[in-house]
Each structure stands twice: as C-alpha cells, then as structure tokens.
Structure 1
Amino acid sequence: MSAHVTKMAEPDNLEYYITFPNSNFDYKNQNGESDFVFVVDEKQVPVVILFGWAGAEDKYLSVYSKIYEEKGLITLRYISPVKYLFWKQHRMVKIGEKLVKLLNDLNFVNNPIIIHCFSNGGAFQYQFFSQALKLSPNPMQIKGVIFDSAPGKRRVLSLFRAIRAIKGGNVLLNLPICFLMTIFFSTMWIFQIIRSYFVKKTNLQMNPLENLKNEENKWPQHFIYSKADVLIPYEDVEYFANYRKSLGIDVSLKRYENTPHVRHYPDNKVSYIQSVCSFMHKCLNIHT
C-alpha cells in the first residue's frame, strides 16, 4: 500500500493530496503488461502532478492518479477552488507560487515531473504554475504536459454548461441560477478585457488559454479529447495543438469519437492508459 498524506496551508486554501510509493515497490519486476512498466531511477522517482477540473472532488481525481501510483510513481493532486477560477483569479498567482514552493520543500527539484491537467480549470491552474516556475531559484525537471478535455476558448454557452455541470441537481430548478451566474461571469469577462487595455499585468487573468498558446516552455504536450465533448469543442483542442506544433513543440493527440467531457478514461480504460503511459515513456526518455 502507498502512504497517503493530506495537508492544508493558509490563507490560500492549498489543500493537496500526495501519494508516495511503498518503499518495497519492485520497479524491476512489476506486474502487468510490459508496455505499461516504467523503469526509473529509484532515487529520483518521477512525479505526476494532477490539476483537477472546476468543481472536481478528490475522490474522482484519485481514480486517475492510481494509473501512475500502480507504476510506482509519486502523485500530487490539486483542485483549484471554483471561486478562484471564476471570480478571484488574482489568487491563482499565489497558488502557483505555493505549488512551486511545495515542490522545493519536498525536494523534488531533480525528480522528473509530468503534469496532467483536466478541462479549462486544470489548464488555468497549470498556466499560473508554469508562470511561477520561471521565478523559482531552482529549475524543475518538467518533462511533459497532458491536457485532458482542454484547452478551449471562452464561450458564453460553454460557460453556462460548465456552471450547470458544477451545480448539478435538478436541471430545471437550477436553470435560473445558472443563467444568472452566466450573465454575471460574462460581464466580468468583458470588464477584464476592458481593464487589460489599461493595466498590462492583468493579461494573465484575462485570457489564460491564449497565453498558454504562446507560453515559452517547450516540453512535449499530449492532448486527450473527444468529438462528442459539448464543453470543449474538439476543434479548439486541435487548433491549439496544431498551433503549438507549428512552434516546434512535440505534440501528440488521442481523439475519441463518443465520450463526454472528462469521461475519456472511465469509458476507454485500456486505450486511455496506453495513451498516457506511451507519452510518459517518451517524456522520461527511458533507455533500456
């Protein structure tokens, strides 16, 4: 069994979950298909950071982390508070800085790191984490990024659907609330756009996905998405991936035809695991 630790830090609600492999984990004689076995330096075990989608619960995100934990890797899960993602975005800067500090405190500076982010909420948090990395006195060994159901452009309809998914419950009863929240956040978006013309440093908060498109980091990126996703259109993901590829980034894609938003793994476990593990092998550049 793996050791599971939960910690909290104030004032920015940095609640995260970290799982270390058992000290007796046998990296050389793992069970399962040989294609899914990671051969790693046991003194610098790879770390997978998972950034959850808006409104996610850790019990759901932990399902994904088990993919990596079963291979003896360290996982760190973090879900940004919904209020930070939608109307307190300035707090995301501090969250990014605290996450980088946490990696330093855990002495993960020399460990290979893979980031797995879900939906626009996870991609949003990844952006501020990436920005904070530039300020770190100790450069991290980021090897690659996986985008699951992301990134997508800002759209009012997508915002409405996202709010409705987060609220859950009876669709008809929640419809007026979701509608009013959509109007409120759409108004805030417009305000941010106007404000950005006068205050340059608000650019990161205004449109994170456009900034991700041109981020300086060159590590490989893998996109898992679906043509049936009604929250993040597949055209958005392919546009983003092709743009990054045009900049010389190593880009790979796994497209499904019928799976809903952030449901690619539950509905396609074998191919999903094959997809992420193949990307991991490439990023870690393992020599056998």
Structure 2
Amino acid sequence: MSATDIQIEREALDWLVRVNDPEFDQWDAWDAWLAADPRRAETYWRLAEREGDAVEALESAPVRARPVARRGVTFPMSRRAALAAAVAVLALGVGWIGWSQRPQPWSVETVPGQQRTLTLADGSQVIMDGGARLAMDRRKPREVKLEAGRALFEVTHDETRPFLVTVGDTTLTDLGTVFDVTRLQDGVRVAVSEGAVRVDATNGSAVLNPGDSVIASSRGLEHRPVDVEAVDGWREGRLSWNNERLDVVAEDLSRALNRPVRLAPGLADRRFSGSLTTTASPRDQKARLELLLGVTVVEDAQGWRLEPRPAP
C-alpha cells in the first residue's frame, strides 16, 4: 500500500468516526472530500461496509441470561463477546472505528441550471439535472430516492446486491442498466438506453429494455418507445418526446428553461412528438414552442403560459 493510500485510509476512518457522531453536521465538507478523488469514495465505502457487517453481526448475536459486570455496566455474555469480535474485525488492518446502529441519511440537491455527477461506492454514477434532489442512507449505498427532478443512472450491475431507485410509491430495480428517471407531479417517467429495469408501481409492473419508456402514474402504466440515443439528450440541452402529453412536456420545459411553464385548460392531454433545443435565447425558444406545439406563448409575472392558438 502506498503512502497516499495509507493517508486516504486514515482520512476515511476519521470521517467515518465523525459521521457516526449524532451531532455531526459537516455534510458538505464530507461530500467535497469524497468527490475530490475516486479513491476516497472507494476507501470510505469499503470501510463503511465492513463497519456495517460488524454491526449486523452484533445485532444478530444471541442474548443469554447470565450478565457480566464491567465498570458498572452489565452486558449479556454473548453480546459482549460479539462486541469484542466486531471490534476485532474492524481493527484488522485499519484500526478501531466507531459505529452506530442508527440510519445515516444524506441528501444531494442541485440548483436550477446546474448538473452534477455523483460517483457511488460501487462505481455507479448518478448524473443529476438542475433542480434535482436525491436522498440516500450511507449504510445502503445501492439504494437511492429521487425526491425531485431528473437523473440519469449508470449502474454497476451486481446480481447479489440489486440497485434500487425509489420515486414516491414506485420502485425501480436495476437489471444491468443505463436509465433515465424523472419525478413528475403525478408519478414517474423511466426511459432505458442500456440493459433493463424492472418497474414496480402501485398500478402495475413492467420490465423495460433499451428503447422502452413508461410513465407510472395514477392513470396506470403508459408505455411508449424512445430513441436510445436521445435518452440522455437533456445533458446537452436537447429534449425529445414521442407522443407525450403536453402536461408532461410543460414539466420538462419548466425544469430545462428554469422558468414555470403552465398550460391553459384543455391542453394537458394534447400529444406531441418532436425535439427542442433549450440553449437558444428566450425569444427563439418562445417562437420555436409556438411553431412546434401549435400554441401561443404568453409571458406573465409567473412565467410562460401556453394557450391554444386562435383560429384564423
């Protein structure tokens, strides 16, 4: 092990002990330390997983009736032995680290207009669009909640440890995949460009393959094909739709243009197929929307409102 690796391991141990402190509040500094070097994330999560295994062994140890007193505190014998074994596991090669049985939640959020890439412990990546929010638990590095916005998942597949994404009441299970997920006002949209994803929603289940997309909402599961090359087009400022409802198009535009885009009554269920570049000037964007969608774009204090185009 090189001197650099030893130093990273010591720093990772220090962070792990500090993170386990209930009073810990330096999440931004912790996140910045992880992001600065991929070796840091790999080392931290490796040690955290070892810590979790030790705690799991401690929790599963049988409890016997005969207590043993030590410094005024009593522990059942088997639990005390399990505690010693857990410490020994943690100490082997890395030194003592503290642990906690409590969840260790953390969240990452992007501001509108910002994109951010997270590299997880197993090498999986999450590319977050602007206005997105993820919630995770450090003890469950292959489980993610998408609480808002849009994200692209490039998952390192592991058959023994499924990668799960939860969006509201819908759970997505990686089957070896690159997939795009958007949280909508009424449900979730999933599009797959590589591998497969299982979608388990309140109103049904489906397995999506490359080129498949579905919106899971109170309406049920709405399937439609997508161009696999366009699934992550939003990263370069291009949005694409295939027979999509205008209420969903408006949500995508609101997020991409960083301004509210609303619909006049009666437009929500109108369908649209096509693409739009979001890097143009607002004037050009409005003209393009009016041409493509067959609407009039009205600007007011709340943003843009799409209205039916007056009959000639």
TM-score relative to the length of structure 2: 0.24
Q: Which has the higher helix share?
A: 1
TM-score relative to the length of structure 1: 0.25
Greater RCO (Cα-Cα under 8 Å, separation 6 or more): 1
Q: Which has the higher strand share?
A: 2
